[in-house]
Amino acid sequence: SERSFIMIKPDGVQRNLVSEIIGRFERRGYKLCGLKMVQPTRQLAESHYADLSERPFFGDLCTFLSSSPVVAMVWAGADVVKQGRTMIGATDPLKSAPGTIRGDLALVTGKNVIHGSDSCENAEKEIALWFKDGEVC
Ligand code: ATP
Ligand code: MG
């Protein structure tokens, strides 16, 4: 079935939001098929956000992502890429509806708690970037 790469960013881990976020995906009915805690290298952070490399905030973004551990996950189920993005909310938490993860749990764009793949194609690329064969069911 469809898969998405979902990552709890350093701020979400440090704020002890791991079970809150995993619980939302579990209760919605999605299946967890990969999970690991890892402190990304700067190189991995830069690869993950390569599409944003020309943006002025790219350096700070990669510094932040590689600053402390993240929880990297693969979730599977019906329409998980689009539904996951809806559950996460807008990039700017101040524009995220209440009920979304960012709308309930964040205030600042640079510390918006969670990443979700924005297309099926990018989901598969990100899963291959973050997980080895055999680490995902
Ligand atoms: P993510 O890819 O992390 O799920 P997103 O898809 O909502 O977030 P992107 O446009 O892919 O948003 O940006 C990636 C991340 O870069 C954002 O989550 C945010 O932390 C940061 N970011 C995006 N735009 C800005 C900005 N204008 N100023 C500062 N940081 C930004
Ligand atoms: Mg994005």
Establish if 137 belongs to a structural domain.
no
For 79-93, b where at least 16 C-beta lie within 10 A, e where not — what string? ebbbbbbebbbeeeb
Q: What is the mean pLDDT of the chain?
A: 98
115 is catalytic: yes
Q: Name the burial class of residue 132, with classes exposed (0-12), middle (13-18) and buried (19+) by CB atoms within 10 angstroms of its CB.
A: exposed
Q: What is the reported pLDDT for 131? A: 98
The pLDDT value given to residue 60: 98
Please, are residues 8 and 113 in contact by the beta-carbon 8 Å criterion? yes
CA distance 61 to 54: 12
ipTM: 0.98
Residue 69, in any domain of the structure = yes
Per the annotation, does 91 bind a ligand? yes
CATH number at residue 101: 3.30.70.141
Whether 136 maps to a domain, the answer reads: no
Ligand 1 atom index nearest CA of 111: 20
Q: Give the residue numbers spanning the domain of 51.
A: 3-130
**Residue at 135 is within a domain:** no
Residue 112: both structure tokens together: 């918006």
- Please tell me the total count of domains within the chain: 1
- Active-site residue (options: 81, 105, 115, 130): 115
- Give percent of the chain above pLDDT 70: 100
pLDDT reported for residue 86: 99
